[in-house]
Amino acid sequence: MSKTTELTLAALAEQLDAELQGDPDYLIRGLAPLAEAKPDQLSFLSNPQYRPQLDTSHAGAVILHPDMAEHFNGNKLLLENPYLGFARLSHRFDQQPIPVKGIHPSARVAEEAQVDPSAAIAAGAVIEAGAIIEADCIVGANAVIGAYCHLGAGTHVYPNATLYHNVRTGQRCLIHANSVIGGDGFGFAHTGQAWEKIAQLGGVVLGDDVEVGACTSIDRGALGDTIIGNDVKIDSQVQIAHNVKIGDHSALAGCVGIAGSTQVGQYCMLGGGVGLSGHLHITDGVQITGMSLVTGSIEERGIYSSGTGAMPNKAWRKNAVRFKQLDDMARRLRQLERQLQQLEGHTQES
Amino acid sequence: MSKTTELTLAALAEQLDAELQGDPDYLIRGLAPLAEAKPDQLSFLSNPQYRPQLDTSHAGAVILHPDMAEHFNGNKLLLENPYLGFARLSHRFDQQPIPVKGIHPSARVAEEAQVDPSAAIAAGAVIEAGAIIEADCIVGANAVIGAYCHLGAGTHVYPNATLYHNVRTGQRCLIHANSVIGGDGFGFAHTGQAWEKIAQLGGVVLGDDVEVGACTSIDRGALGDTIIGNDVKIDSQVQIAHNVKIGDHSALAGCVGIAGSTQVGQYCMLGGGVGLSGHLHITDGVQITGMSLVTGSIEERGIYSSGTGAMPNKAWRKNAVRFKQLDDMARRLRQLERQLQQLEGHTQES
Amino acid sequence: MSKTTELTLAALAEQLDAELQGDPDYLIRGLAPLAEAKPDQLSFLSNPQYRPQLDTSHAGAVILHPDMAEHFNGNKLLLENPYLGFARLSHRFDQQPIPVKGIHPSARVAEEAQVDPSAAIAAGAVIEAGAIIEADCIVGANAVIGAYCHLGAGTHVYPNATLYHNVRTGQRCLIHANSVIGGDGFGFAHTGQAWEKIAQLGGVVLGDDVEVGACTSIDRGALGDTIIGNDVKIDSQVQIAHNVKIGDHSALAGCVGIAGSTQVGQYCMLGGGVGLSGHLHITDGVQITGMSLVTGSIEERGIYSSGTGAMPNKAWRKNAVRFKQLDDMARRLRQLERQLQQLEGHTQES
């Protein structure tokens, strides 16, 4: 394990521009949830529901909203958005090794590639001809950056990730291990007997501050580019097909699949396993809950869902069978209503 | 960006054996959809629904069905299947770098492997003992070809893909980046207390012209091989379990999962996220729409579906709760029908 | 193809401690199912349903439960659990190449890493500073083992897999190709305008005998570790989010997705494509069938399911539309019941 970080509360408060109440020289060596924090750890209270944990927490200090200050007697950092403060401090305690700048002797960088001297190219990485790697980029071990790619400053490509040719990233993107950006879109014409591949001539463009999870794939465009907006966060095991467009600040949880040419707006959130058909338009601010199937465009912001939740198998079997009779049931229900109406008329007459 | 391709309309018409109406020397520098094409780009009209775009398109030339010729005044290539023509020409404009033949000095090829001199083995690729790499194959950077694999002529394995030992491909296969072919099937016996692994003794056999998307996994057989037929197209993020068989010309969209020993026929199409249980038989010509769950064999060609589409969350919550009451509702409906029948009898009598 | 294994029935019986009836010197060169086995192959009968195959099988020998002995005239190995016996013998016929011990010259092992001399580090593998690789470990070609990782004795990491820093495995783990262990969990705070990344400070801990399939991702914890128990078997294309805990002996089939902080008990089995929401608790012994959506905790052991099976598209369209009317149907049904009750009262009075 690498060396532990030690920071004074004063230093942490200064970074957050937070009001410090307590001992400015108190040393913090890590972060932890309220219920698990030790005396050398900093915690935070974001959800008021956890307020009772303040009474029993052993945290050495807590980040709190000013309104909550009175509920904790120990060291505290007061901040409007404690969770955001926690997020910002988290990077101070990150033990992720900082790579050595420069090109590892075992990395293979094509002569025609441009690598900024401040970039770190790890062992076994391959940078192909015409690629441009800007300042402070990190390319992890055995990652492959294809020809004519362009990595914006501060972008980090993790080990074994693959960028095909002509992929552009903005600044400060994170592309996690074993992800693939720019693989061929799934495009074929049919001769009547067999499939004829359509060359995928477009590229992929990522905005600034895009994060791409592990084992995620983003296909290159067929004609024109696949486009991922600024600050888009994509989790692991996600599939984004050719010519998809994702608007700024949207977030896609794990196992999402988006078919070709679909456009997702800004500030959208797709839950885990959501599937979007191709050629749809999803407007800004749409949230879709986990494992929903979306086969039509969504033009109104809001929360959308599909599917049914798990239940004991025995009950499920009975209900699932009935699903196949649902249209029949609806027709019979309508028929009953008609009959009953007639009958009521008849009875009232009688 | 690499150099742009320039081709005359005459050359393109000749390749397609299409009738050229217009200027044979007109230079085409790319392909684009009708609505976006510029004067140096070629477009196509396949779906008659887009015919009005012919009037406003700036395309330098358009591939058209002969019946549509009169609707476009500019340069045109007349062809029975314009989309197929577009597919065939697309490869002329592909900027994918052509790799250098031969073995890169940093590739590690086992002495007992056979690599055809026309093959290109990129930086960092590993070819293990007993592997055979036929003519015109490409093995991308840092890809790993296991012992006793056999790559048919013209097969392209993209960077960071992994083939375990004893995987055979036909000719002209494309295996995209970070895919895995021949990983262990998921097979265990239970001791009563713990799992006992079953060694996966089979291999994987791909036919000719198979395409495997990025981050896709195809497991080796337990006993006997996993078999993917000729011209099968598999998208990204797909999981194919041990001893699955896929018939010729079938296509599997992204995120499909197929459990062990299931057989899919020829000319089938599985939509994104479809899941097939194990030991099923799906006959030829079956189409299954996105995210369907298939737990039984399908013996009749046609289109199949399951699931429910997304709706506003508030309405969904109400409906999803009712799903759990569906069997109860069906019984009550039947009961009402009986009661009403009795009552009608009674009323008519009265 | 590598050399075939030959073993006498006596040797196989001895390994299993099984009663051998037949020729102890009979040579077995492989395993096969009853229906396909050749005279030099060993088969087994586990499911009594296949008993008729004993009559026609060409297997050179069969593993049988003692109660079944009379039904087969050829060579036989008698054992309480034939399938388990088959599992144990399967490894004898495995043609997976045995890697050469030691560090391949093209592997890059950091000076500060400790690699046991009995370990095999393949071509192009990267072992970062502070990593510990215990006895008999195998690290496949181009795999990357991050800083301060610890691989327990006998662990096998397949080609192109990536372990981020601070990942610990128990003994005899199998981590298949292109999997990623320890990638960042998906954690962000929101500033109101944009996402603020939360550094993922925890690690991942795997117990003994854990198997992780190809292209699977297991995220590191945000605070504290993601924990996979002993003998947990995870298939391919699975996503396990930060701070998930999986109990001993549980098995997760392909394409499963588990959201953050969810705890799965011991001896659970999740079918292919199952999705679990975050912060759930699934008790011991729970089985969940394929593609089920689980949004609430499950506190009682048993089998659980959701979703609906595929049906012909035309019928499905009608039924799926009705799903959106289900709450309305339920209300109308209730209303009919009330009306009918009134009417029956009325009719009986009349």
Question: In chain A, which residues have their Cβ closer than 8 Å to the Cβ of C315?
Answer: 324, 327
Chain A residues in contact with B235 by the CB 8 A cut-off are 186, 239, 241
* pLDDT score, position C349: 61
| Domain termination residue (choose one: A93, A118, A149) | A93
Token pair recorded at residue B245: 């068989």
Q: Are residues A147 and A284 in the same domain?
A: yes
Q: Kindly state whether residues C278 and C155 are assigned to the same domain.
A: yes
Q: Is residue C1 part of a domain?
A: no
Of C83, C312, C337, the CB nearest to B189: C83
Q: Is the pLDDT of residue A234 over 90?
A: yes
* Choice among C65, C242, C281, C346 that is catalytic: C242
| C344 vs A43: which has the higher pLDDT | A43
Q: In chain B, what percentage of residues exceed pLDDT 90? A: 95
**Would residue A348 count as lying in a domain?**
no
CB contact under 8 A, B259 and C272: yes
Q: Which amino acid is at A325?
A: Q
Best of A28, A308, A331 to disrupt the C interface by mutation (most C CBs within 10 Å)?
A308
pLDDT value, residue B346:
73
pLDDT digit string, tens, across residues A117-142: 999 999 999 999 999 999 999 999 99
Q: What are phi and psi of C318, to 5 degrees?
A: -65, -45
C123 vs B contacts (CB less than 8 Å): 108, 126
pLDDT tens figures, A192-230:
999 999 999 999 999 999 999 999 999 999 999 999 999
How far is it, in rounded angstroms, from Cα A210 to Cα A216?
13
Task: Determine the pLDDT at residue B342.
Answer: 87
Residues B247 and B129 in one domain: yes
Domain count, chain A: 3
Contact C146 A97 (CB under 8 A): yes
pLDDT one-digit tens code per residue, A241-299:
999 999 999 999 999 999 999 999 999 999 999 999 999 999 999 999 999 999 999 99
Task: State how far Cα A119 lies from the chain centre.
Answer: 25
B260 by DSSP, 3-state: which? coil
Which contiguous run of DSSP H or E holds residue C174? strand C174-175
The kind and range of the H/E element at A227 are: strand A226-228
| CATH code of residue A50 | 3.40.1390.10
Q: Is the pLDDT of residue C287 over 60?
A: yes
% chain C with pLDDT above 90 = 95
Q: Is residue B52 part of a domain?
A: yes
> Smallest Cβ distance to B306: which of C93, C311, C330?
C311
In angstroms, the CA B34 to CA B43 distance is 6
Kindly state whether residue C309 falls inside one of the protein's structural domains: no
Q: Which of A236, A229, A280 is nearest to A256 (CA)?
A: A236
Rounded CA-CA distance C216/C176 in Å is 8
Q: Are residue A223 and residue A117 in the same domain, yes or no? A: yes
Give the separation between CA C281 and CA C262, rounded to whole angstroms.
6
Locate tokens 């799965």: which residue? C264
* Phi-psi map region of C264: left, alpha, beta (phi>0 left; psi -120 to 50 alpha): beta
Minimal C-alpha gap between C52 and chain B (Å): 19
A341 or A199, greater pLDDT = A199
- Which alpha helices (H) appear in chain A, and where do they start and end? 9-16, 53-56, 82-90, 313-323, 326-349
The verdict on a CB contact (< 8 Å) between C90 and B350 is no
In angstroms, what separates the C-alpha of C271 from chain B's closest C-alpha? 9
Query: A142, C108 in Cβ contact below 8 A?
Result: no
DSSP class of C269: E
Res B244: pLDDT = 98
Rounded percentage of chain A residues whose pLDDT exceeds 90 = 95
pLDDT at C344: 80
Best mutation target, C142, C144, C338, to test chain A (most A CBs within 10 A)? C144
Question: According to the model, what pLDDT value does residue C269 have?
Answer: 98
Interface partners of chain C (CB pairs < 8 Å, 3 or more) are A, B
Band (B350; pLDDT cuts 50, 70, 90): low
Q: Do C85 and C214 sit in the same domain of this protein?
A: no
Reading phi first (left if > 0) and then psi (alpha if -120 to 50, else beta), residue C141 is in beta
Are the Cβ atoms of A183 and B176 closer than 8 angstroms?
yes
Domain housing B50: 7-93
Sign of the Cα torsion C84, C86, C91, C95 reads: negative
Residues B77 and B107 both lie in one domain: no
Give the CA radius of gyration of chain C: 27
Domain boundary residue, one of C48, C74, C93: C93
Query: What is residue A66's three-state secondary structure?
Result: helix
- Domain-terminating residue out of B46, B63, B93: B93
Average pLDDT value for residue range B29-50: 94
Q: Are strands B27-28 and A167-168 parallel, antiparallel or unpaired?
A: unpaired
CA dist., res. A270 & res. A232, Å (int): 12
For residue A225, give the nearest of A248, A204, A200 by alpha carbon: A204
Residues of B forming the active site: 242
Same domain, C249 and C222: yes
Does the CA dihedral B79-B83-B88-B94 come out positive or negative? positive
Say which of A88, A106, A320 has its CB closest to residue C308: A320
pLDDT tier for residue C79 given thresholds of 50, 70 and 90: very high
Q: How confident is the model at residue A350 (pLDDT cuts 50, 70, 90)?
A: low
- Give the integer Cα–Cα distance in Å for B264 and B244: 8
Q: What is the mean pLDDT of chain C?
A: 95
Contacts of A323 in chain C (CB under 8 A): 308, 319, 323
The 10s digit of each residue's pLDDT in B116-157 is 999 999 999 999 999 999 999 999 999 999 999 999 999 999
A193 domain residue, yes or no: yes
- Nearest CA-CA distance, residue C233 and chain A, Å: 19
CB A151 within 8 A of CB A115: no
Residue A327 with chain B: CB contacts under 8 Å? none
pLDDT in tens, B271-317: 999 999 999 999 999 999 999 999 999 999 999 999 999 999 999 99
Chosen from C121, C128, C186 to mutate, greatest number of chain A CBs within 10 A: C186
Shortest CB distance from C123 goes to which of B126, B307, B323?
Answer: B126
The CATH code of the domain that includes B113 is: 2.160.10.10
Mean pLDDT of all residues in A26-35? 95
Residue A197: which residues within 8 A CB-CB, separation 6 or more?
A187, A188, B87, B91, B174, B211
Looking at the fold, whether A130 and A65 belong to one and the same domain comes out as no
Distance CA A246, CA A255 (A): 16
- pLDDT band for position A2 (cuts 50, 70, 90): low
Q: Sign (positive/negative) of CA torsion B64, B66, B67, B69? A: positive
pLDDT of A156 strictly over 60: yes
User: Tens of pLDDT along C42-70?
Assistant: 999 998 899 999 999 999 999 999 999 99
Is residue C275 situated within a structural domain? yes
Cα dihedral across residues A20, A24, A30, A35: positive or negative: negative
Same domain? B54 vs B198? no
Q: What element of type H or E holds C9?
A: helix C9-16
C80 pLDDT more than 80: yes
The identity of residue B142, as a single letter, is N
Dmax of chain B from CA atoms?
100
B144 and C96: CB-CB below 8 Å?
Answer: no
In this structure, the answer to whether residues C343 and C271 fall within a common structural domain is no
- Sign of the torsion formed by the C-alpha atoms of B211, B215, B216 and B218: positive
What is the DSSP annotation of A113-133? -EE-TT-EE-TT-EE-TT-EE
pLDDT band, residue B349 (cuts 50/70/90): low
Contact A346 B347 (CB under 8 A): yes
In this model, does residue A333 exceed pLDDT 70?
yes
- Contact yes or no for B178 and A160 at CB 8 A: yes
Closest-CA residue of A relative to C316 is A324
With pLDDT > 70 as the criterion, what percentage of chain C qualifies?
98
Same domain, C114 and C200: yes
* Cα separation, A136 vs A101, whole angstroms: 8
Interface test with A, best of B326, B331, B334, B340 (most A CBs within 10 A): B326
Residue B1: pLDDT over 60: no
CB-nearest to C241 from A159, A254, A317 is A254
Please tell me which of the candidates B31, B83, B343 has its beta carbon nearest to residue A223. Answer: B31
Does any domain span residue A38?
Answer: yes
Q: Are strands A102-103 and A120-121 parallel, antiparallel or unpaired?
A: parallel
Mean pLDDT for chain B overall: 95
Average pLDDT, chain A: 95
Residues A306-318, mean pLDDT to the nearest whole number: 95
- Do A146 and A76 lie in a common domain? no
Per-residue model confidence as pLDDT tens digits over C293-318: 999 999 999 999 999 999 999 999 99
pLDDT given for residue C4 in this prediction: 77
**Would you tell me how many other CB atoms lie within 10 Å of the CB of residue B173?**
26
Asked if pLDDT for residue B2 goes beyond 70, the answer is no
Residue A345 has pLDDT above 90, yes or no: no
The answer to the question of residue C240 being in a domain is yes
Q: What percentage of residues in chain B have a pLDDT greater than 70?
A: 98
Name every chain C residue with its beta carbon within 8 A of the beta carbon of A257.
none
